[in-house]
Amino acid sequence: MPLHVQGQQQDYLISRVDHTQLFKRNIFDITQDSTGFMWFAAESGLLRYDGNDVIAYRENPADPNALPSDVVQSLKVDSSGTLWVGTRFGGLSRFNSQTNDFTTFHPRPDTTNDVRAISLGRSQSLWLSVAFDPHIYRFDIPSETFTAIPLPPQLDNGLLFAFDIHEADNGNLWVATVDNGLLLLSPDGELINEFNTTTPAGSRLTGNSLRRIVPDHHGHIWIGGFGAYLSRLNPATGQIVSPDPRFEAAFSNVYDLWIDPREDVIWAAADGGLIRLDLHTLEIIERYGFDPDTPRSLINDRTRAVHHDRSGIIWVGNEHGGIHNLLQRNEFTHVTPNPDEPGYLQEAFVRGFYQPEDDVIWVINSSQIAEVDIETNRVLRLVEILGEKQASVGYTTIKDDPAGGILIGTWGNGLIHYDRRTGRQTQFTSGRAANTLSDDRIQFIEIDSRGRYWIGTQNGVNLFNRNTGTFERILYDFDAPESSFSYSVQTNAFVEDENQVYWIGTWDGLVRFDYTNRTERRYKFSANNAEGLGSNHILSLYDDDTYLWIGTFSGGLNRMHKETGEITRFTDAQGLASNVIFTIIPGNNGDLWLSSNNGVIRFNSVTGSYRNFSESDGLGINDFWWGAGFRSRQGHLYFGSIYGYVTFDPDRIRESRFHPRVVLSEIRVFGESLTRSDILELRHTQNYLDFSYASLDYTSPSKIEYMHMLEGLDSDWIYTGNRSQVSYSALSPGEYVFRVRATNADGLWSDNELEVRFTILPPIWQTMPFRFLMVFISVALIGITIRWRTASVTRQNKQLEALVAERTRDLADSKEELLESNEQLREKTLRLEERNREIEIQRNLVLTNSNELEAKNRQLIQLNQEKNSLIGIVAHDLRSPLASVMSGLHILKISDDMPIGEQLEILDMIETSVNKQLSMITRILDHQALESGKININMTPVDLNPLLENIRQTHMSPAAGKSIGLTITKPDTLPAVHADDSLLEQVLDNMVSNAIKFSPANTTVTVLVLVTRDDIRIGVRDQGPGISQADQEKLFRKFQKLSARPTGGEQSTGLGLSIVKQFAEAMHGAVWCESKLGEGATFWISLRPAINRP
């Protein structure tokens, strides 16, 4: 393996820009425009990058405003922010950002227009180097004109054309040529000096084919080229120096240079990679190239362009390797294993840490403990504690023992006390005895403020008595030692609170253990409680006195107010890198450092702000291990992982204060891209918009967060996380402002805000001019109509005047006749009016008599119907009992010698028949009395108890005769009702009689009494066939016979329930029926109580 202290490899972290438009592209030049977009000159067109998307501009012969050539070789942004593009055989092009197109200029018709380089000149000018053209060109930007300056004709060493130009402050020109070295020309092109392979020693170049010249801030000129190595020229002395010849291979071909004045270094893009040198000593500080053993390396060594953007990122273009960027690392150190080399970790899996002395750290692996130098992170030795047993022990945690020595937790071998001075070991394991460990898998060892030893295991918490070597099991399930998640505690999940209260994280919730009372309270996750714990799996705890911070597995970071129990969750929904929080280690200024399965998080407990760190920030690894977190005495943090560990000084972790610009990348209307000038005003049909935008911080685009708002539609900011696109549909006509805010890669919200104002125009029929036109047309039409109508009325008036004059003459002639006729008519009218009054009186009299006759007719019809019903009842229902009486009498008459017993039976039968006739006649008479209003009602308080008993006695025998039970259910205390006792008895008699009549044998009829606040209800419930819905609509009507038939052949007049209803209403009560077919029926009467009656 290569160098294993990853944080000490290089000062810059290399990232490849992964985008299909950039994959393996041949990159010639790189620049950043005034907006902040990155532009790449490629062999396949001009590419614009915003951190998310790439827009490619390519040749289109049919469009004069398109890029003139797909091969883009040079880029330059002038002082006004305009981007200039040099193409192969296409000349010089200016990018028009408002219209998103190009304006192209050609130096001369007879030139190749192969622009190899563009450099900035003085006085708003550009200098162009054109291939295979012995001229250099000055382009005046305001006038858009070229001036050609020929190269000295006496230079005939091969090809004579320039590749790069630099205009000095005095107007002289430094020109890098292809085969003639470096030239110094006067402003009009006269040769002042030259430097090549033939000039005197000390001023001699190592090659004549140059590619780039760059001045530094010390007044030197740096020169790079093909076979020309890398050289530094002092213009004042003419002296040229180069780096150590041993590195000649790295500088054999140099394509691009960039000076970093802050660090006094120069960056060279060469065939040997990207090289960083000290400006003064010319020593190589670092070389960045392809490394097959390092994923974060350049894709190849053939670097062609280098550029430094405004945020501090260094961009590198490769030949057929696309784009990389280099970001200065944070000071993370990733220490990885190398079992084949001394001084390195032998195992990859790091479970914990222990600091026995100030200058060393013990790194706890599964089967060994490595003592590491705290400054160099090199392994000094392997700590031998258990000898040959060590490989199978499985260390988990180590703690200083205040009584001397150290306590070591293992995974499967219990607790070990180790005396470092004597080497003596004492092992404590689990057993059936209650005073032994509850489990041999140790998760934590903690010693509280009162000197108690707490031992957390996979199944329970134990108090260790250091003097006796025994244990007291606190949280433990002996019946399920292997499966009791409730008592599986976690390594970093033990916190001592005040008043001997302890917080313990388990795999089944958070436990608050009160040592004084030996009681526990468990807090658990509930899917129905969004304000509770985010998960039952508690991995880590930290107490800041007011809040308990809780790291969970799958529930993120939770904050519990210890007094109120209120819990607040912080999860990936708010932007945290992960919902799995392995450890919580306090830092400074309220920072909490969290390790997870997706990097490290710095969370400020005061402000709630955070920053996620990952491999892209130099961590080296994202997947850390449960509970493997540690803060050294020096304040450095250590996090163990599945592959080594990461350590750093939290105070030296930089946070970017860069405020990136937020830009509109693209706007599309129904999928069609628009330019910025097009979106100021849109037609009403262009109301389906897609906005794409970007925060131009290229440090880590995936960590940038956005929020947007469309003023005129949205009432507040809408947070979208890392999503940088939003769509709006069916926007109404009106004025809108689309606004976007974004963070940088460190989570700092930028002060720069995107604001796009646009208007959706209303349809023409909704515009004010159209409305004014409609009003004008309407007014004009009204005016025309009025004029036409006025003229017509004038004509009609004249005609009427003539007609009136003629008729006036005729009227004057017949005036006398009319007066006479009028008098005659008046007399006739008086006589007619008198006659009409007499006729009206007679008509009203006839109408009154007619109404009375109709009413009497309807009454007679009803009476006739009732008569027919009554006759039918008399004819049918009275005939049968009379026939029985006559038959009995006839038998008695002809049988003189009939035994007395048989005679009594016949007389009983006659008596029964007569009683039936009497009952029917009584009901008919009651009905007639009610109809005629002749019944007298005497309302008095009625005691229900004797009344109900009388009813029961009356109907007991008929019910028993049909094998029907009769019961009464009533309260112990029964108030009197306000009723007529005689009518009420008849009502109840009728209701009970009906129930017995329609009940089958072996059933029960129940009389119910319910007392409510407002009334007293008496019900009669049977278990008969029930009443259908159709029959229920006929109930309580006169002469109605239902589909149900009496079960004992009894007779029915069809008047019983009608009489019940009329009697009830006469007593100011009500009756109703409750029944379902096949489930019997209950008939109710409700009456007022007699309380407070006068």
Q: Of 185, 186, 177, whose CA–CA distance to 205 is shortest?
A: 177
Q: Which helix (H) or strand (E) holds 542?
A: strand 538-543
- Segment 332-362, tens digit of pLDDT: 889 999 888 888 999 999 999 999 999 999 9
143: helix, strand or coil: coil
Burial profile 917-942: b = 16 or more Cβ within 10 angstroms, e = fewer: bebbeebbebbeebeeeebeeebeeb
Q: Please state which architecture CATH assigns to domain 828-935.
A: Orthogonal Bundle (1.10)
Residues in CB range of 427: below 8 A, 6 or more apart: 413, 414, 415, 416, 417
Looking at residue 213, what is its pLDDT?
A: 95
User: Could you state, in order of their start, the residue ranges of all structural domains in the chain?
Assistant: 36-286, 662-766, 767-813, 828-935, 936-1087
**CA–CA distance, 1060 with 987 (Å, rounded to integer):** 5
Q: Where are the beta strands (DSSP E) in 675-772?
A: 681-682, 689-695, 706-711, 718-721, 725-728, 734-742, 754-760
**CA–CA distance, 6 with 13 (Å, rounded to integer):** 11
What is each CA distance from 978 to 183, 926, 944, 1016, 1073, in whole angstroms?
Answer: 131, 21, 10, 10, 22
**CA–CA distance, 443 with 471 (Å, rounded to integer):** 16
Q: Of 220, 152, 135, 233, whose CA–CA distance to 192 is shortest?
A: 152
Look up residue 203 and give its two tokens: 């001023």
Look up residue 980 and give its two tokens: 């007529």
Count Cα atoms within 13 angstroms, Cβ side, for 1024: 29
**CA–CA distance, 284 with 444 (Å, rounded to integer):** 49
DSSP 8-state class, residue 615:
G
Predicted TM-score (pTM) above 0.75: no
The answer to whether 1055 and 927 are in contact (CB under 8 A) is yes
CATH class of 936-1087: alpha beta
Sheet holding 322-328, edge to edge: 12-16, 322-328, 314-318, 303-308
Looking at residue 454, what is its pLDDT?
A: 95
18: helix, strand or coil: coil
Residues in CB range of 836: below 8 A, 6 or more apart: none
The answer to whether 426 and 416 are in contact (CB under 8 A) is yes
Looking at residue 358, what is its pLDDT?
A: 93
CA angle 832, 834, 837 (to 5 degrees): 110
Q: Of 449, 475, 479, 481, whose CA–CA distance to 463 is shortest?
A: 475
**CA–CA distance, 648 with 461 (Å, rounded to integer):** 33
Low-confidence ranges of the chain (pLDDT < 70): 1-10, 156-158, 228, 246-249, 330, 386-393, 476-486, 675-679, 818, 859-888, 890, 895-896, 905, 908-909, 912-935, 1039-1044, 1048-1055, 1091-1094
| CATH number attached to the domain at 662-766 | 2.60.40.10
**CA–CA distance, 668 with 688 (Å, rounded to integer):** 8
Looking at residue 556, what is its pLDDT?
A: 96
Q: Of 392, 362, 584, whose CA–CA distance to 491 is shortest?
A: 584
Looking at residue 4, what is its pLDDT?
A: 32
Q: Which helix (H) or strand (E) holds 917?
A: helix 900-932
Looking at residue 680, what is its pLDDT?
A: 76
Q: Please state which architecture CATH assigns to domain 36-286.
A: 7 Propeller (2.130)
- Segment 241-293, tens digit of pLDDT: 988 776 666 777 999 999 999 889 999 999 989 999 999 998 988 899 998 87
